[in-house]
Amino acid sequence: MAQTALTIDGLGVDFGGFKAVNNVSLTVEEGELRVLLGANGAGKTTLMDLVSGKTKSTEGRVFLHDTDITNWEEHKIARAGVGRKFQIPSVFKDLSVRRNLEVASCRNPGVLANLRFGFSQQARHDVDRVLELIGLTEEANRLAAYLSHGQTQWLELGLLVTQSPKVILLDEPTAGMTQAETHKTSEIVNSLKGKHTLIVVEHDMAFVREIAERITVLHLGQVLAEGNVEQIETNPKVREAYLGSKGIG
Amino acid sequence: MLEVLFIGLSLGSILLLVALGLAITYGAMGVINMAHGEMVMIGAYVTVLTGLWLGLNIFFAIPIAFIVTAVLGLVIERVVVRRLYGRLLDTLLATWGIAILIQQAVRLELGLSFFGIHIAGLGPGLQNVSVPAVLQGTFMLGSAEINRYRAFIIVVTAVLTAVTWLIMYRTPIGTQVRAIIRNPKMAAACGIDVARVNALTFAFGSGLAGVAGVMMSGFKTVFPDMGTPMVVDGFMVVVMGGIGSLLGSVLSAGILGEINGLVAAGTNDILARAVVFGVVIMIIILKPKGLFSLKGR
Amino acid sequence: MSIKQRIQIAIYVGFFALIMCAPMVLDPFWLNRIAKYLVFGMLGVAVALSWGYAGILNLGQGLFFGAGAYMLAMSLKLASPTSLQQGSDRPVPDFMLWNAEPGAPTELCCITKASFLWLPFQHQWFGIVMGLVLPVAIATIIGVIVFRKRIAGVFVSIITLALVLLVRLVVIDAQPVTNGFNGLTDLGVFKIGELELDPYIVPTYYFVAIALCLVLSGARLLIETRAGLILQATRDDQNRARYLGFDVPLYQTFFFAVSAGIAGIAGMFYVVVSEFASPTFMDLTFSITMVVWAAVGGRSSILGACIGAILINMISATVSETEGFAEAWKVIIGLIFVLVVLYLPRGVAGLAHDLIDRLLVRRKAPSRHPVGVTDASQLAE
């Protein structure tokens, strides 16, 4: 039986009376790709914030494998093995694409450890490989500020791949993309399946259809339903709260 | 004791006078206007010049200084600040450059000293303004002897604060400014001409600084460098009070003024100023958003 | 090694050679002046490191400069002939005599309140060590408090501004210990072993010049490390760096402290070449002027900021010889500064980089990259 990568147990946060996330429990297996669906305000991004340390939870626990990472500082959670991609793509604008990835390739994040020159063979190899995966080999020496929106999203994905965390949280990776770009993104995401555990928040149903294995639907801060694409589509509660009568796609 | 408190109050009102205009521009536009101190200085020089050339006293200098500095502020906003929208630290630096230019303009008597022409009232030396007789001396309030000019400053500050409050909270343009303070993009989406309102806001803030300068000229010597410490003091008040909060600025000016007065009474002026800086640093560290912050998400 | 990198090294070497050759053409008076500008060049490096690379605009760099200066000055004051005269063979600075507590013995330990703080400075090496340790310690404390609380850019700048002003006032007020407004003057001569480094002799100039070369090279190499790259990442997007696992406040504090150390060293050298330390080192105008030098020279260019500082001061000095031009020069600098902030964020060094890139592109066959879009790693200097 596969190992559990991420366990969320009764997690919740109370913003002065308003519970954005309320007693959410879910388990994600190693190598699994889980999609989080839900209307705006359902708590998907907040849940990611809680797991990655951006927001402090007021109840519940989060476990990365067997380690309790609840309410750790963001960089410690990242070091432990949780990577996060943001809705608004954030990359290092004044560095070149290659330099961006080199930053992510640093295995030891301490200051003293990095008072050295250059990168290892392995790291340079990784960076080249990732450049190819995200299709930015030609743009390697370009300043990240000059990339198009889609390319910036891919670069950020590339940062995550280079970081190679055990669990990757993707928050709307196709936001603002054209159909063609979305397709390429799904290729990248699919290539990550198996090697990493992925949790994806998405709205774009076509994209969801291309990548989804298991889906968790959130509604008003709580888990509404869980299952594969077909099960979710036919679930009457989900139809009522989220999908409407037309289903996914 | 009453006298010490009164001095603290007058110190606070001077702080508020300078900070008022700064609070508005900082709150509405997020602009750190390092040239604000120079606006105060210009107001002071206007008083000197109207006294020397037009024979008018302080009371007349107030509206004249307001107009002069407001126009100057408008020009600065159009030519420089507007191009730096969103670049907070760059506005700080650019306005510092403008402050240098304004200082030099006064020192070099608008460039004319180069050609050997001297304008009385300008130049690198010290200037003085004589206060009208009605404002000289002291009067008794209960058992305390109150300096008339200090009282005048408090009154003018109170009036200006009230006027500002009225404009901000009771006029359509004030509502627009407050909308911009909370969320400029939404305000623009609601049809507010953000560029125009910002320009007017900057002009108004500068005008207030000009009036502060008129007040200053009555009890401080007027010289080209006088502006720099004032902009620092002004910012301390504004940052401590919180972005966009008029009440915050009033309270922090009051608090800092009283602290200054009390510490000065106990030790000396120098340490008092040091303590004020220390207090501001503590507040920024503990409450980075200031005492009251109205910035929207 | 790429052509661009070779050109950069050549420029650095050229600059070193230039400043080393100065004694051959200049008289002692000018040499001393240039030495002062070289010290300002060090300050330019400190600002570039903090602002251009760490993204921290320190508006109170004068605090660290002043701290370094005063530490060494205290040692040199005790070694001064005016101090040794006071009765005992244990030196007491002259100003303390005038500020003495009534009835106090003429001893460093107790002549005025807190005069005992001067005791360890009887050894020159203590002043030197403290000249580096004090600024670094202050910077580390600031960093730990301010950066850990995630205080954003502008507020950090305001805190540094308030801090330098605060310290300046305290130093002025503590007259019995610091001689207040007058600062520390009539200092003894700085000694290395038996060699006395009088401000106007050639060895002193070389001392400063070599130090500048070392500081420049050290800072440049520091930026080239992985840590330097990560630092720039934290400058560009703090959050992104955090979520990649980097302890952002740690990086910021580290480099802020290095920048402070450089400023402290600069302060010490300034005392060696000008023989005084004064609260004016902590004037707000001076601190912001340092930022102007770096902005014009190029905030993201270590060498650019250094040269910017040196050149601006050199021109300033030459121009001040003529009446009236001094003030006009200030206008020009003010104007240049505003224009640089508006239109030339990478300063003159940025222009130079673009020029070199253009020339290089023309030499090659048509390249893949359009002109103007360059490898940012080569921009970083």
pLDDT of residue C89: 65
User: Which of A54, A86, A92, A102 would you mutate first to test chain C, the one with the most C CBs within 10 A?
Assistant: A92
Note the pLDDT of residue C87. Answer: 56
Whether C373 has a pLDDT exceeding 50, the answer reads no
Long-range contacts of C242-246 (CB under 8 A, 24+ apart): C242/A74, C242/A75, C242/A78, C243/A52, C243/A74, C243/A75, C243/A78, C243/A83, C243/A84, C244/A78, C244/A83, C244/A103, C244/A104, C244/A109, C244/A159, C244/A163, C245/A75, C245/A78, C245/A79, C245/A109, C245/A163, C246/A75, C246/A106, C246/A109
Check CB contact under 8 Å for C157 and B97.
no
Q: Any idea of the CA torsion for B173, B176, B181, B184, to the nearest 10 degrees?
A: -140
Give me chain A's average pLDDT, please: 87
CB atoms within 10 A of CB C113: 13
Provide the pLDDT for residue C377: 46
The alpha carbon of residue B107 is apart from the nearest alpha carbon of chain C, in Å, by: 8
**Interchain contact B101–C (C-beta under 8 A):** yes
- Cα–Cα distance, A52 to A74 (Å, whole number): 6
Between chains, do B92 and C154 touch, taking CB under 8 Å as contact?
yes
Give the tens place of pLDDT for each residue, A32-49. 889 998 887 788 889 999
Q: Which of B245, B205, B249, B290 is nearest to B31 (CA)?
A: B205
Whether chain C lies against chain B with 3 or more Cβ pairs closer than 8 A is: yes
Separation between Cα atoms, residue A145 and residue A138, nearest integer Å? 15
Over pLDDT 70: what percentage of chain A? 96
Contacting residues of C for B271, CB less than 8 Å apart: 169-170, 173
**pLDDT at residue number C375:** 46
Confidence of residue B209 (pLDDT cuts 50, 70, 90): very high
The whole-angstrom distance between A200's CA and the closest CA on chain C is 17
pLDDT mean over B196-208: 91
In tens, the pLDDT along B130-187 reads: 777 777 777 777 777 778 888 888 888 999 989 988 998 899 988 888 888 778 888 8
Of B96, B228, B284, the CB nearest to C155: B284
Residue C88 has pLDDT above 80, yes or no: no
Q: Are strands C195-197 and C190-192 parallel, antiparallel or unpaired?
A: antiparallel
Which of C138, C285, C342 to probe by mutation at the B interface, max B CB count within 10 Å?
C342
pLDDT band at C85 (very low <50, low <70, confident <90, very high): low
Closest partner residue to C369 (CB to CB) among A75, A141, A163 is A141
Q: In the predicted model, is pLDDT for residue C380 greater than 80?
A: no
> What gap in Å lies between CA B202 and CA A46, rounded to an integer?
39
Label residue B155 exposed, middle or buried (CB < 10 Å: 0-12, 13-18, 19+).
exposed
Q: Look at B232 and C284 and tell me if their CB atoms are within 8 Å.
A: yes
Domain range annotation of chain A = 4-243
As a whole number of angstroms, the distance between CA A193 and CA A195 comes to: 6
Check CB contact under 8 Å for A90 and C225: no
What mean pLDDT, rounded, does chain C reach? 88
Give pLDDT, residue C374.
46
Any idea what the Cα angle at residue A28 is, between residues A25 and A30, rounded to 5°?
155
For residue C53, name the pLDDT band (cuts at 50, 70, 90).
Answer: very high
Inform me whether the pLDDT recorded for C368 exceeds 90.
no
Is C150 near chain A, with CB under 8 Å? no
The string of pLDDT tens digits covering residues B273-292 is 899 899 989 988 888 777 77
Vertex C85 angle, CA C79 and C87, to 5°: 120
Chain C residues in contact with A116 by the CB 8 A cut-off are: 225-226
CB A28 within 8 A of CB A6: yes
Span B92-115, mean pLDDT? 84
Structure tokens at B245: 């909060």
Complete DSSP assignment for A79-142:
HHTEEEE-SS----TTSBHHHHHHHHT-S---TGGG-S-S--HHHHHHHHHHHHHTT-STTTTS
Q: How far is C90 from chain A (nearest CA, A)?
A: 43
What mean pLDDT value characterizes chain B? 85
Cβ-based contacts under 8 A for chains A and C: 103
State what percent of residues in chain C have pLDDT above 90. 55
Q: Which chains, if any, share at least 3 CB pairs under 8 A with chain B?
A: C
CB contact under 8 A, C230 and A83: no
Residue C36: pLDDT band (50, 70, 90) is: very high
Is the pLDDT at A245 greater than 60? The verdict is no
Distance from the Cα of residue B175 to its chain's centroid = 22
> Is residue B217 left, alpha or beta, with left meaning phi > 0 and alpha meaning psi from -120 to 50?
alpha
If one compares B111 and C343, the residue with the highest pLDDT of the two is C343
Instruction: Report CA dihedral (C12, C15, C17, C22) to the nearest 10 degrees.
Output: -160
What pLDDT is recorded for position C324?
66
State the average pLDDT over residues C162-170. 94
- Provide, as residue numbers in chain B, all residues whose Cβ is less than 8 Å from the Cβ of C157: 89, 92
Longest dimension (CA), chain C: 85
Lowest mean pLDDT among A152-156, C90-94, C205-209, C307-311: C90-94
**Average pLDDT in the A139-156 region?**
90
Contact criterion met (CB < 8 Å) for A83 and C248: no
- Contacting chains of C (3 CB pairs or more, <8 Å) are A, B
**Does an H or E element contain C331, and which?**
helix C325-343
Check CB contact of B277 with chain C, cutoff 8 Å.
yes
- Answer yes or no: do A74 and C233 touch at CB < 8 A: no
DSSP letters spanning C173-223: H-HHHH-GGG-B-SPPPEEETTEEE-TTSHHHHHHHHHHHHHHHHHHHHHH
Instruction: Dig out the tokens for B30 from the structure.
Output: 């997020």
C370 — pLDDT class (breaks 50, 70, 90):
low
**Which residues in chain A are contacts of C235 at CB distance < 8 A?**
94
- What is the pLDDT, as a whole number, of residue A246? 55
* pTM: predicted TM-score of the whole model, two decimal places: 0.89
pLDDT at C243 over 50: yes
From residue A129, how far is each of A98, A100, A119, B274, C38 by CA, in Å?
11, 14, 15, 57, 46
Decide if pLDDT at C158 tops 90: no
Domain ranges, ordered by start, for chain C: 3-379
Contact across the interface for C376 and A96, Cβ inside 8 Å: yes
Which pLDDT score is estimated for B248? 86
**Confidence tier at A243 by pLDDT (50, 70, 90):** low
The dotted CATH code for A4-243 is 3.40.50.300
**pLDDT(B120) > 80:** no
Q: Is the pLDDT of residue B297 over 50?
A: no
The reported pLDDT for the residue numbered C217 is 95
In this predicted model, what pLDDT tens digit does every residue of C257-266 receive, in sequence order?
Answer: 999 999 999 9
Q: What is the pLDDT of residues A99-133, one digit of tens each?
A: 999 999 998 898 888 898 888 888 899 999 999 98
**Beta strands at A82-85 and A167-171: parallel, antiparallel or unpaired:** parallel
- Flag if C341 and B90 touch (Cβ within 8 Å): yes
